[in-house]
């Protein structure tokens, strides 16, 4: 019999037992209440001759009427006269001795339902404990013991974090050959803290350690220690470290340790007592290992700044391993790992994908590969192509296309010139990043977008690059003003204005790029109602920010006036194709013809436009060039040189 069927049968039997017991006692109680007579009523029945037989047992009388109905009653006192009356009226009187003490069954039967309920609860607890839930084992650790045979992740499966792997490889080597390190008096660090942004592979490194070490590996999340009951977390810490010591050499991996290791005394009311007790117990356990016991604690967090100082001191977490965002080569290796089981087309270039995904974490790249595979599967392809990866990257960076968002022709023109302004300024401004793509297809909350991607990873940014970034951001609004006039400028530049102002303020307050303020940090905010920056300095900050924005604005306008023809050509090309790559944007700005594109068959009749450009709907695909479209759209643009 299966476990499910056995449990169902047991629960059914218990339910039926309880139901029958409750029903029986309820029925007996109702029957007794119904047949019980008052003493006065009983005397009247005897005198009227209705009673046929009685059984007298002390003060309790049970009998039958002449109609065969049963009854019971109690005599308040011994009355020989009552007995004589019953005999005189022909009642058959049976006398029984009074029982001394209580009957066993009379005592046990009322407790049967309660005993059944207690047994049911006890059985349920035993079942939960046998399944590993430990419903009442609050003080026991819920750490998962991972065996190396069950973990398939190895260090070669973790890419892009070579320095972190090298330091963790030392831990694995020490656990495999402790004598090699101890013969010269060396001691392996007791604790290793993995620090890095979300998605960089800290937990993946923990799984790789479990697969490589070949020793007992205890995995637990920081939030698993803390409960609403004070003292439970500390008890779990003791239990966890006790298990690890018994099976040393071993590894304890605590994920998201900031959930329990936050700085003590912080927060409203001085902090949480339960969390602080748990942290105190962890501090004691980590600094109390015997020399003969090899237990290493590996913890991961992306908030090392909030951890308690006592937790980070030597003797506890001796070594801090930074797991950063991958660089160019690291991203290419990560893509190789995640595409190992994905059928790729020959057009896929991992080096190009790596260069086009700066700032992506390992989790972001895994999501990119997954999105590309889903797109290919949705279209019934046998392999994942480079086009799938490009579309997946656009979806991750810019959001899904909103083809259902209906835009009027005027909105499309405004959006096209707005995005063309961004692209032209970026293309002709020194220090600007190369343009990856420009589109006027609505994505997310935007009507269009220009994406710039750096050629290499950057650690620091120059003043020239920052100024170029501000100018590129201003290009959209200035392009609208020049093309359609100030009275038709839209609200689409709200995010651009916010980004440019924020960047200029940081240049002044944080990065020392203001000659008037010099080498000082003015990025102070109000704390407890007291400003830590003077009014005069704040006024200078505002003036310097305004000066940077004004200078960039004039330079941006000059660039767009100088390259006015390219601005119109690029806007019309965007109206035609909706999306242009960086190379196609360069071709348009150089006055070259874009390569023809194949469009799907249309079912509308052929018609002529105002400029004589014909659109055909024949069964064959048609070829268009950007130059023909420029002729068609230019007639709708204003000719006033002041507006251009």
**Catalytic annotation on 30?**
no
> Taking the CA atoms of the chain, what radius of gyration do you get in angstroms?
42
Phi, psi of 324 (to 5 degrees): -85, 175
- Cα angle vertex 524, ends 520, 527, to 5°? 150
| Cα→Cα distances 389→196, 211, 333, 386, Å | 27, 31, 16, 5
Rounded CA-CA distance 275/273 in Å is 6
Write the CB contacts of 566 (distance below 8 Å, at least 6 apart in sequence): 424, 588, 589
CB-based burial of residue 82 (10 Å sphere; 0-12 exposed, 13-18 middle, 19+ buried)? middle
Neighbours of 468 (CB within 10 A): 23
Rounded CA-CA distance 200/186 in Å is 31
| Cα→Cα distances 350→333, 369, 378, 395, 454, Å | 9, 11, 22, 18, 16
Q: 212, 332, 419, 480: which is the annotated catalytic residue?
A: 419
Residue pointed to by tokens 């330079």:
555
Choose among 639, 576, 574, 633: nearest CA to 609: 633
Answer for the pair 169, 346: CB distance below 8 angstroms, yes or no: no
Task: List the alpha helices (DSSP H) in 518-593.
Answer: 535-562, 564-577, 582-589
Neighbours of 630 (CB within 10 A): 19
Phi, psi of 509 (to 5 degrees): -90, -30
What secondary structure does DSSP assign to 526-540, as a single string? Answer: -BTTB-SS-HHHHHH
Choose among 172, 321, 148: nearest CA to 249: 172
Rounded CA-CA distance 457/195 in Å is 20
**Residues that are catalytic:** 419
């Amino acid at each position: 019999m299966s476990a499910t069927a056995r449990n169902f049968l047991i629960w059914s039997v218990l339910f039926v037992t309880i139901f029958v017991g409750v029903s029986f006692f309820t029925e007996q109680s109702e029957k007794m209440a119904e047949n019980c007579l008052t003493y006065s009523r009983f005397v009247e029945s005897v005198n009227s001759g209705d009673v046929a037989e009685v059984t007298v047992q002390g003060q309790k009388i049970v009998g039958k009427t002449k109609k065969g109905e049963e009854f019971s009653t109690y005599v308040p006192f011994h009355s020989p006269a009552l007995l004589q009356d019953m005999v005189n009226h022909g009642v058959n009187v049976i006398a029984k001795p009074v029982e001394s003490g209580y009957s066993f069954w009379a005592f046990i039967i009322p407790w049967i339902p309660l005993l059944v309920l207690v047994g049911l609860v006890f059985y349920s607890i035993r079942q939960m404990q046998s399944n590993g839930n430990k419903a009442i084992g609050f003080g026991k650790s819920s750490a998962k013991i991972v065996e190396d045979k069950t973990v398939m992740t190895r260090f070669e499966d973790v890419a892009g974090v070579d320095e972190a792997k090298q330091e963790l490889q030392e831990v694995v080597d020490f656990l495999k050959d402790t004598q090699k390190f101890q013969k010269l008096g060396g001691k392996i660090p007791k604790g290793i803290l993995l620090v890095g942004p979300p998605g960089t592979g800290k937990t993946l490194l923990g799984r790789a350690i479990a697969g490589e070490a070949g020793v007992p590996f205890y995995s637990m999340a920081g939030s698993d220690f803390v409960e609403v009951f004070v003292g439970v977390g500390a008890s779990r810490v003791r239990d966890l470290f006790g298990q690890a010591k018994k099976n040393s050499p071993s590894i304890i991996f605590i994920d998201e340790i900031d959930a329990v290791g936050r700085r003590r005394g912080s927060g409203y009311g001085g902090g949480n007592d339960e969390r602080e007790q748990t942290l105190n117990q962890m501090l004691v356990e980590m600094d109390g290992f015997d020399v003969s016991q090899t237990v290493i604690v590996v913890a991961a967090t992306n908030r090392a700044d909030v951890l308690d100082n006592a937790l980070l001191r030597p003797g506890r977490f001796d070594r801090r391993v930074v797991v950063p965002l991958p660089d160019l080569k690291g991203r290419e290796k990560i893509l190789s790992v995640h595409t190992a089981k994905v059928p790729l087309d020959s057009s896929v270039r991992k080096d190009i994908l790596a260069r086009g995904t700066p700032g992506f974490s390992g989790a972001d790249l895994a999501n990119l590969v997954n999105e590309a595979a889903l797109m290919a599967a949705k279209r019934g392809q046998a392999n994942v192509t480079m086009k799938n990866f490009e579309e997946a990257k656009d979806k991750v960076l810019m959001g899904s296309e909103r083809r259902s968002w209906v835009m009027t022709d005027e909105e499309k023109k405004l959006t096209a010139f707005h995005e063309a302004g961004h692209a032209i300024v970026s293309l002709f401004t020194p220090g600007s990043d190369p343009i990856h793509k420009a589109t006027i297809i609505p994505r997310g909350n935007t009507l269009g977008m220009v994406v710039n991607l750096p050629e290499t990873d950057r650690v620091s940014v120059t003043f020239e690059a920052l100024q170029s970034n501000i100018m590129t951001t201003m290009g959209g609004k200035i392009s609208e003003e020049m093309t359609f006039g100030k009275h038709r400028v839209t609200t689409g530049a709200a995010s651009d204005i916010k980004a440019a102002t924020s960047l200029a303020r940081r240049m002044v307050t944080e990065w020392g790029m203001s000659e008037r303020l010099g080498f000082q940090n003015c990025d102070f905010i109000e704390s407890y109602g007291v400003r830590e920056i003077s009014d005069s300095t704040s006024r200078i900050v505002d003036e310097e920010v305004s000066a940077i924005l004004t200078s960039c604005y004039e330079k941006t306008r000059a660039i767009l006036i100088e390259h006015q023809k390219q601005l119109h050509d690029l806007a019309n090309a965007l109206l035609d194709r909706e999306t242009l790559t960086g190379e196609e944007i360069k071709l348009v700005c150089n006055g070259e013809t874009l390569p023809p594109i194949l469009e799907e068959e249309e079912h509308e009749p052929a018609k002529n436009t105002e400029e004589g450009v014909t659109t055909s709907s024949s069964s064959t695909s048609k070829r268009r060039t950007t130059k023909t479209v420029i002729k068609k759209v230019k007639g709708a643009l204003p000719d006033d040189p002041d507006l251009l």
